[in-house]
Amino acid sequence: MGAGAGGYVTIQLLTFDNTVATVPLNPGVFKLSRVSQLLFAPAETPTRDKNSRPLPAIPGTPGPTPGDPPAGKVALGGLTNDEVTKFNLYAYTDKQRTALTGMGTDLKSDPSKKLNARIAHEAQVAFGGQWAGFAVALGPAGGRFDLVAEIELVPRWLGQGADKPFQVIPVVVAFGTDSFAHHYLLSLIVAQKTSDLVDTAVTQPYQ
């Protein structure tokens, strides 16, 4: 939005054509062609659901130690494990959503870093680019899949000149024996230098 725009806005990129094809006379090279419509609509200021409870205090124990292989794995795009200084993932364990249980993703649960390094490498092979990887000790249970993530990272935009710098971090998860090649895009993190509330959502087919 231009200078002077206030409030919140929902920006939707709706893609009508998304075609991957080889480049003529160069069969080893591919190109991606997209035709999209960009839609702008006023949005309400992000707040908690009126019927939701406040977040409970994050427990002092991070949860069980992941096994090898772990119950699940999480990968953060555009980062290395050295750039993530804290990553704790918690799940609600009761229907009232008042108790959080650690899922074992904290850095101390993998002191050798070998397991997390393997997960990061798997994500790099599946998607390309740089990825940080973390082992998860617990899988989803019950009808709800409601998580709380506590993340500290070293942003890439430090020292850059943008007024409101940001970094987009895709979060990919796989459980059980699934590989990242058959991944689930959990969310997108828009890491910004701002005290404003930030609301990001992912809409995708579910199979």
Residue 200 confidence class, pLDDT cut points 50, 70, 90: confident
CB atoms within 10 A of CB 88: 22
C-alpha closest to that of 149 among 202, 207, 195, 84 = 84
Mean pLDDT value across the chain: 82
> How far apart are alpha carbons 203 and 184 in whole angstroms?
12
Q: 3-class SS at 61?
A: coil
Residue 83 confidence class, pLDDT cut points 50, 70, 90: very high
Q: Say if CB 133 and CB 105 are below 8 A apart.
A: no
Sequence-separated (6 or more) residues with CB below 8 Å from residue 147: 89, 90, 91, 92, 103
Q: Taking the CA atoms of the chain, what radius of gyration do you get in angstroms?
A: 19
106, amino acid identity = D
Residue 145 confidence class, pLDDT cut points 50, 70, 90: low
The torsion of the CA quartet 55, 59, 60, 66, rounded to 10 degrees, works out to -120
Q: Say if CB 73 and CB 173 are below 8 A apart.
A: yes
pLDDT at 159 over 60: yes
Q: Say if CB 58 and CB 101 are below 8 A apart.
A: no
Residue 193 burial by Cβ neighbours in a 10 Å radius (0-12, 13-18, 19+): middle
Q: What is the mean pLDDT of residues 102-113?
A: 80
C-alpha closest to that of 75 among 128, 21, 138, 142 = 128
Residue 57 confidence class, pLDDT cut points 50, 70, 90: low
Query: What is the pLDDT, as a whole number, of residue 165?
Result: 85
pLDDT at 169 over 50: yes
Residue 7 burial by Cβ neighbours in a 10 Å radius (0-12, 13-18, 19+): exposed
> How far apart are alpha carbons 153 and 167 in whole angstroms?
11
